[in-house]
Amino acid sequence: MSLTEVAGQLLEGLHAQLPGSGFRLAGIEVQVGRMVDLDPEHLRAMLCSLLPRVEVRVTVVEPLLKCKDCGAEYPHDEHPCPVCGSPNAELVHGGELQIVRAWGETI
């Protein structure tokens, strides 16, 4: 999927949740997980071009794993589990690609 398509899908979801009229969008905050194959700065630039005069913040979320055996949560770079040594883990954070906040004003 291209960067333009990703940005378009994010904005499509956002616009579906905004009031239909009488609202001016002032800013958005997007979370991008480190494990997502996407350059956060390129995404920010694309969103800025699609939303002129809107503040765009992009936050990078570091990967966090959860051991399926003992339940410990730990950074991705400490794999396997530093508590029990198990290689069985699931990604808890770091795969996000979502708008987490939007703000504006009623006009």
Establish if 81 belongs to a structural domain: no
Per-residue confidence (pLDDT) for residue 46, from 0 to 100? 97
Domain assignment present for residue 50? The answer is yes
- Specify the CATH number for the domain of residue 55: 3.30.2320.50
pLDDT band at 94 (very low <50, low <70, confident <90, very high): very high
Answer whether residue 72 is part of any domain.
no
- Answer yes or no: is 86 within a domain: no
Q: Report the domain count for the chain.
A: 1
Domain membership flag for residue 101: yes
Work out the pLDDT band at 61, boundaries 50, 70, 90: very high
Q: Which residue has the higher pLDDT, 21 or 43?
A: 43
Contact 100, 27 (CB under 8 A): no
Q: Return the pLDDT at 52.
A: 96
CA distance linking residue 58 with residue 9, whole number of Å: 16
Burial of 37 (0-12, 13-18, 19+ CB in 10 A): exposed
